[in-house]
């Protein structure tokens, strides 16, 4: 596993937040789990699209270490493992939805169809448009 050469120097709460749910895959995993609530690994992998098994496994481990995602393993044959958001993970969803709305309003290529998990945050609509609905 990758070991950074320097220790993280996180002094600001914003830096901590961006470290916990920032990056390409963490926010997507959180949004998919928020929309689907409980998923097995293979279903989560299919929902993510274009992510390798190694990256998904590593990202899930980071999210579990940060207390955002929990993993539940069932002692059955065949083995079954499920992933869900923790209370801490659920608390970050409104923040990600706000970021999504902001990005939808200002991202120049935000006109295409949004993934299913993005529809919950009214992707691409401004607060003014939402208040008119």
Segment 47-66, tens digit of pLDDT: 887 889 999 999 999 999 99
Give the domain extent around 52: 13-132
Domain-located, residue 68 = yes
- Which residues, including other chains, have CB under 8 Å from residue 43's CB and lie 6 or more apart? 36
Domain-located, residue 97 = yes
Query: Do 30 and 68 form a contact (C-beta atoms < 8 A)?
Result: yes
Domain-located, residue 7 = no
pLDDT at residue 120 greater than cutoff 70 = no
Domain-located, residue 124 = yes
The tally of domains found in the chain comes to 1
Domain-located, residue 108 = yes
- Bridge partner residues of 81 (DSSP): 73
Domain-located, residue 2 = no
Higher-pLDDT residue of 9 and 38 is 38
What would you report as the CA-atom Rg of the chain, rounded to the nearest whole angstrom?
16
Query: Do 94 and 104 form a contact (C-beta atoms < 8 A)?
Result: no
Q: What CATH number does the domain containing 107 carry?
A: 1.10.10.10
- Token code pair at residue 96: 């990600």
- The rounded distance, in Å, linking the Cα atoms of 116 and 81 is 23
């Amino acid at each position: 596993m990758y070991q950074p050469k320097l220790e993280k120097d996180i002094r600001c709460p914003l830096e901590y937040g961006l470290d916990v749910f920032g990056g390409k895959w963490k926010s997507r995993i959180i949004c998919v789990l928020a929309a689907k609530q409980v998923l097995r690994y293979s279903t989560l992998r299919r929902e993510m699209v274009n992510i390798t098994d190694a990256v998904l496994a590593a990202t899930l481990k980071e999210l579990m270490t940060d207390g955002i995602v929990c993993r539940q393993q069932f002692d059955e044959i065949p083995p079954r493992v499920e992933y869900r958001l923790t209370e801490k993970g659920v608390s970050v969803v409104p923040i990600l939805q706000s970021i999504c709305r902001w990005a939808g309003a200002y991202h120049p290529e935000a006109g295409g169809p949004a993934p299913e998990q993005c529809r919950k945050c009214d992707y691409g609509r401004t607060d003014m448009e939402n208040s008119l609905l």
